[in-house]
Amino acid sequence: GTNITYNETYKGRIKLYLNNATLRLENVTLGDSGVYIVDITLFRPLSTASAEVRLEVYTTLSKPIITVTSSPTIEGDNVTMTCSYDEGIDPTFSWHRGSQLIDCSNQRYQCQSTSSSLTITSVRPSEGGFYSCSVENPVSSETSDPKELLVYYGPNTPNVTINAELCGGEELSSSYCVEVGSPIKLNCEADSFPKSNYTWWANSSDVVSYNNFVHIMKSEFTDAGIYICIASNNYTTITRSSPSLSLLVYKRVLP
């Protein structure tokens, strides 16, 4: 028989079949990765040859989780999400927003298939939503649970409406006229997330409402004045005022 000497690292895990020059390695470990070389010598006639093969051993990847660097995230911030996993080696990474694959060639995104992070520069409200990351190697692939990215923004400049006509028409006046005793309805809307807080001021000194509306069931002459709606967002700390609205209350004079 032929005496074969094995390195202690492989003892009990390796089999060599001389009839066809096959090497069988069992219960492989990460340490078995590397280049394997076979040298062959023929005696009749005398000749030699060699060949090599690279063995890569992988472990299966665990399910990743996403962490976000900044919370809450405000419009215009740079936000970084990190895809972390506990087990496995040599993954490639990919990111999705909903069902859409993130294109890392887009200049708005900083990401690579070999990097665990995704950075969005100067984030926009439209980029909020549910993100997921996937890790993959030749023997496994796993995807994280969706992680919601909330992007706080606003308020934008408030838009004010009133149930009244301009005094004398648009070309003659910028004030609105309401007959005394008639109801007055002022509404204010400012796009914001979370929703805006509202304050209505009359004549720059009197707070008339902490809602986005002012409803006066029966107008009086003292209701005339300059009205302004102020919208604010506690998260973005932005406050914006509407253009002032001039309201006149008149009494119809019968002939």
Burial 14-37 (b: 16+ CB within 10 A, else e): beeeeeeeeeeeeeeeeebeeeee
Q: What is the model's pLDDT at position 169?
A: 66
Distance from C-alpha of 1 to C-alpha of 215, rounded to nearest angstrom: 105
Q: What is the model's pLDDT at position 40?
A: 84
Q: What is the model's pLDDT at position 113?
A: 93
* DSSP element (H, E) containing 150: none
Q: For 12, phi and psi rounded to 5 degrees? A: 80, -5
CA distance readout (Å), 53 to 109, 229, 243: 39, 75, 76
Task: Please give the single-letter amino acid code of residue 134.
Answer: S
CA dihedral 218→224→228→234, nearest 10 degrees, is -40
**Residue 45 preceded by cis peptide, ω within 30:** yes
Per-residue confidence of the chain (255 residues) as pLDDT tens digits? Answer: 566 777 888 888 988 888 887 889 999 988 889 998 988 888 878 889 898 999 999 999 999 999 998 777 999 999 999 999 999 999 999 999 999 999 999 999 999 999 999 999 999 999 999 999 999 999 999 999 999 999 999 999 999 999 998 987 665 567 999 999 999 999 999 999 999 999 999 998 889 999 999 999 999 999 999 999 999 999 999 999 999 999 999 998 777
Cβ–Cβ under 8 Å, residues 196 and 212? yes
CA dihedral 112→118→123→124, nearest 10 degrees, is 80
- Tokens matching residue 29: 């470990």
- pTM here is 0.78
Q: What is the model's pLDDT at position 188?
A: 97
Question: Residue 187, Cβ neighbours under 10 Å: how many?
Answer: 16
Task: Please give the single-letter amino acid code of residue 34.
Answer: G
Q: Percentages helix, strand, coil for the chain, rounded to the nearest 5?
A: 5, 50, 45
Domains within the chain, CATH numbers bracketed? 8-55 (no CATH), 65-152 (2.60.40.10), 159-250 (2.60.40.10)
Task: Please give the single-letter amino acid code of residue 107.
Answer: Q
Q: What is the model's pLDDT at position 171?
A: 56
- Residue ranges of E strands in 138-250: 140-143, 147-149, 151-152, 159-162, 165-166, 175-179, 184-189, 197-202, 206-209, 213-216, 225-233, 238-241, 245-250
Q: What is the model's pLDDT at position 23?
A: 87
